[in-house]
Amino acid sequence: MSRPFQVEILESQKQLEKALKHAITASSKERLQMLYWLKSGEVSSRRSLAERLARDEATITRWVRT
């Protein structure tokens, strides 16, 4: 059984949206998109994030830690 996926995002949804529009690199866009989806409630699990971003669940976990 895996651990629950809980992430505390300090930025507001508007701040994330603005940062996403101004992101330059693909990797920063992916990470900001992940945070935006979590903050907006569109996605709540590591698995659904991994599917949407076409990344492994371990990658999602690593991104959340850093």
Per the structure block, which two tokens stand in for 47? 């698995």
Q: Rounded to whole angstroms, how far apart are CA atoms 4 and 45?
A: 8
pLDDT digits (tens, 9 = 90+) for 12-36: 999 999 999 999 999 999 999 999 9
Answering whether pTM is above 0.95, one says no
Going by pLDDT thresholds of 50, 70 and 90, the confidence category of residue 2 is low
- In the numeric block, which tokens belong to residue 27? 């990797």
Q: Which two tokens stand for residue 22?
A: 């101004």
